[in-house]
Chain A
Amino acid sequence: MTVDRRGFFKLAGLGALGLAGARSLPVLGNPLPSPSPPESGPPSGVRWGMVVDLRACLHDEGCQDCILACDHAHNIPQLPDRKHEVKWIWKDPYEEVFPMQAHEYLEDALRGHPALAFCNHCNNPPCVRVCPTKATFRREDGLVMMDWHRCIGCRYCIAACPYGSRSFNWVDPRPYIEKIDPEFPTRTRGVVEKCNFCDERLARNEQPACVAACRNGAMTFGNLADPTSTVRLLLKSRYSIRRKPALGTHPEVFYLV
């Protein structure tokens, strides 16, 4: 953790040279260094990413397994007021998750049907760029993380996220958590939170909770830096899209259509 943070500060120092400098941080678009196996390589050899198979997910439209697994794993409160909702992973109609990739003649299988949405762990994350305290930061392995003890609750990151992936704790969340899991921290009121790609499970060499919970094989998690990883093989063999690609955020979550 500390090493990752230090690396982040180095990047932040580069950012000090100016916003233009920050835009051309090394990781973007460059050919990746020689591939190394996921578990042995240094952080630079690991770039976590996710592939979501929309059709496999649609097999079981009412399925909430991934969402429930995430809610339990991360002590996510179930707030009665929709305005105060906290969500890390959720389902919204395809047209809302992909507003630029929908049209009036869209096939029936997708139109109005739910698509999974969660943090894209962007390669060029606008939330990290705007955070005034570095409470949200990007690790070298691609995870966009949050320090809930540093967040001042200014909500600039919420304004900057083009995917609506961030939630704010408008009230104390603890009374609304069904069953608190002592393994994972609860949050206090007044801080922002979002999907963390289950960094606590990755550290134990486990798949993210949503991936592990999926019965339909709709979610695949892996190392994008490794050309032999399942995620890379999936992307190589099938047509994939990303959310709002024109904004240059470079999401590390891909959708197979």
Chain B
Amino acid sequence: MFEKALSGNRGYWGWIFFLLAVIGVGFVCYLKQLTTGLGITGMSRDVSWGLYIAQFTFLVGVAASAVMVVLPYYLHNTKVFGRITILGEFLAIAAVTMCLTFIIVDLGQPGRAFNIILHPTPHSILFWDMVVLSGYLLLNVVITHVTLDAERTGEAPPKWIKPVIILSIPWAISIHTVTAFIYSGLAARPFWMTAILAPRFLASAFSSGPALLILFCLILMRFTRFDPGWEAIQKMALIVTYAMLANIFFILMEVFTTFYSDIPEHLAHFKYLYWGLDGHHELVPFMWASAILAVFSALVLVNPKLRMQRSWLRWACLAVVASVWLEKGLGMVVTGFVPSPLGGVTQYLPTLREVLITLGIYALGALMITGFYHIALAVRGELRSASPS
């Protein structure tokens, strides 16, 4: 089946080579990091996790969100999702791969990564995160391969795949729950130590992931003969709407508890995020942008008239993805470290090399998604370029 990824028009190849170039640049920067250490990043003794771990966290959400198309299709028989479940599953594979790459890139001694398996440590949440993420990757690889192969040969997929697909549903929830537990179990970091972190993660994932999927569908509809059906897109838009409202609601819960209880060490982090602390304001504009985008997307999505218009829906989905990315992929991780346990405020700014490595990993994910979607559409004969043979 993979040979299908190797035939495409000039636009396809141009895009592939562009992504390969971005990956190459990121790789060269990573070699530098590998030989000189993580000192080439903007991270420090006080802010010891940065862009990499934040992207990992955001992308676990994207990976988990595949469940939002798989669940309605397989558990509620929502037939309109029949054409897009595979897109969701492929997105999950690419997202988990990016997650694992971000983890490896963040390790000080990547050559020892297998120590997590050689010395399994059940009381470490990171151990469980490794287990659930690799399990989720495996599940989705098997599911997409089997179902797409069945489509190609025109036969019904084997019966045993159904329970595997059903298993992938709670598994998707688990990956983001466990990822939240990495943070919410730390007494040292009051900003993260909140029981609502896992629900918040899931809500932001189930809004940003399907929003990303809608955007991918719109792009595919433009460049190929693929058509998921307007009804499917509207159903996804409804999911995005509810999840985004839940996400905003959860954030407001957090804000209430923090501000009304008025505990200084909880408050300090929020002050840093939205107003700045000790003369450091680097995240403030981004966090307000995230808040404004969240409100904008919610207002558009809640209004059925706007949600049903393609152009409004597109902007709302972009706003959802951007809002969640700013909050999760930028603010959430760094703010846990500011102020430090001793009250110090250390500025974190990612370096150019760090950003290029990050972009390289995103390009790797984009390359996988492009290839996978290309294969899926080629199997279904929906590529515009596919000539009748």
> Residues of A at under 8 Å CB distance from B?
12, 15-16, 19, 22, 81-86, 92, 95-97, 99, 117, 126, 129-135, 150-156, 158-164, 167-172, 188-192, 244, 247-249
Contact = CB atoms under 8 A, between A and B. Distances in A.
B342 A99 contact: yes
Given A159-B189, A161-B188, 14 more contacts: A15-B121, A15-B122, A99-B343, A126-B186, A133-B115, A150-B112, A152-B112, A153-B109, A156-B124, A159-B336, A168-B38, A170-B38, A191-B108, A244-B341
A153 B107 contact: yes
A12 B121 contact: yes
12 contacts: A15-B123, A19-B123, A22-B123, A86-B45, A133-B119, A135-B115, A152-B112, A152-B116, A154-B107, A159-B49, A168-B48, A171-B36
Nearest to A168: B48
A137 to B, nearest CB: 10
Nearest to A248: B187
Contacts of B37: 169-172, 189-190
Interface class of chain B by DSSP: loop
Interface stretch (B125-133, B241-249, B319-327): B125-133
B188 A152 contact: no
Contacts of B121: 12, 15, 131-134
A126 B188 contact: yes
A152 B115 contact: yes
A248 B36 CA distance: 38
Contacts of A85: 45
Contacts of B39: 81, 84, 170-171, 189
A129 B123 contact: yes
Given A134-B119, A190-B37, A99 B265 contact: yes
Contacts of B187: 126, 162, 247-249
Contacts of B302: none
A97 B340 CA distance: 11
Given A154-B107, A158-B48, A130 B116 contact: no
A155 B56 CA distance: 15
Contact of B108 (A92, A126, A152, A248): A152
A248 B341 CA distance: 15
Nearest to B36: A171
Given A167-B45, A168-B108, A92 B342 contact: yes
A152 B46 CA distance: 19
Contacts of A159: 48-49, 186, 188-189, 336-337
A171 B35 CA distance: 10
List the 7 closest A-B pairs by CB distance, nearest first: A153-B108, A190-B108, A83-B44, A15-B123, A162-B188, A170-B39, A189-B37
Contacts of A162: 187-188, 341
Nearest to B190: A162
B285 interface: no
Nearest to A244: B341
Interface string B164-189: 00000000000000000010011111
Contacts of B119: 133-134, 150
Interface in B11-50: 36-39, 43-46, 48-49
B44 to A, nearest CB: 3
B387 to A, nearest CB: 50
B224 interface: no
A80 B39 CA distance: 12
A96 B341 CA distance: 8
Nearest to B348: A83
Contacts of A12: 121-123
A163 B341 CA distance: 6
Contacts of A191: 108-109
A94 B126 CA distance: 34
A158 B188 CA distance: 9
B188 A247 contact: yes
A95 B343 contact: yes
B344 interface: yes
Nearest to B340: A164
B346 interface: yes
B343 A154 contact: no
Contacts of A95: 343
Interface string B331-342: 000001100111
B292 interface: no
Given A83-B44, A133-B116, A135-B115, A172 B188 contact: no
